Amino acid sequence: MHRAPQLTFPCASEYSWRAWEKAYEDHRRKVQSAQPLVDTCAPLTFRHLQLKLKRLKLEEERLSIIQRDNLLLLEKVASVMRTRRQAGSKNNSTHRRRSCRETGAAGRCHWAPSLCPHPTRADSLL
């Protein structure tokens, strides 16, 4: 590669040369005294991007639908318990109570004999 010839003074006058020399020395001093700098801070987060209002709105709607469905189911269960529909049920609670202890068939009850909630004949006579 060919180099351009170096002049003795890069500037035409002595005054320009001294100004250039002073600026260059200031630059070299700043470069020598420079400290390493690593930015360890987290990047800026913007509130409107972090909050995600649309997602919160959808979650609130989903929870309200679940709450409404739970209330409907609770009302249905409560109405079934109030009316005590036993006519078509094969698992009649009175039949289960009779077959547990009164007939002596404690083996058919799914409860342990000491924990069985069904009344005995002696309890029903009291």
Q: What is the pLDDT of residues 68-80, one digit of tens each?
A: 999 999 999 999 8
pLDDT of residue 94 exceeding 80, the answer is no
- pLDDT recorded at residue 62: 97
- pLDDT recorded at residue 99: 47
35: in domain: no
Mean pLDDT of 84-113: 55
Residue range(s) defining the domain that contains residue 61: 51-86
Look at the pTM and tell me if it is higher than 0.85. Answer: no
39: in domain: no
- pLDDT recorded at residue 54: 92
- Radius of gyration of the CA atoms of the chain, in A: 46
Residue for token pair 């924990």: 115
Q: In sequence order, what are the residues at sequence separation of 6 or more whose Cβ sits closer than 8 angstroms to the Cβ of residue 106?
A: 100, 113, 116
73: in domain: yes
92: in domain: no
Is the distance from CB of 91 to CB of 84 less than 8 angstroms? Answer: no
109: in domain: no
Is the distance from CB of 97 to CB of 105 less than 8 angstroms? Answer: no
Domain count, the chain: 1
67: in domain: yes
26: in domain: no
104: in domain: no
Query: Which two three-digit tokens encode residue 37?
Result: 């700098």
- pLDDT recorded at residue 27: 95
pLDDT of residue 9 exceeding 70, the answer is no
Can you list the alpha helix ranges (DSSP code H) found in 34-120? 47-51, 53-83, 93-97
Residue that wins the pLDDT comparison between 56 and 85? 56
